[in-house]
Amino acid sequence: MHIDKELDTRGLNCPLPILKAKKSLSEMRSGQLLKVVATDAGSVRDFQAFAKQTGNELVEQQTAGVEFIHVLRRR
């Protein structure tokens, strides 16, 4: 999987990871992939809801230790 942009939101709590992801996605072209690394456990459901609300595709979610990795495809 080719990631076009990676966003580090470690240490940030809701809603900051979502807000930063929204800003990054707005700067990307349709179809590009954004990888967000977060440490907020709530980010898992937050990114699921964000994808549904915005029409961006949530391609993948992973948990790696204390980190939560989200991959979004820009609509």
Active site residue 20: no
Catalytic choice (14, 37, 44, 59): 14
Q: How many CA atoms lie within 13 A of 19 on its CB side?
A: 5
- Say how many C-beta atoms besides its own lie within 10 A of residue 1's C-beta: 7
Distances (CA, A) of 11 to 23, 36, 37: 18, 12, 10
Residue with tokens 């595709």: 57
Catalytic residues: 14
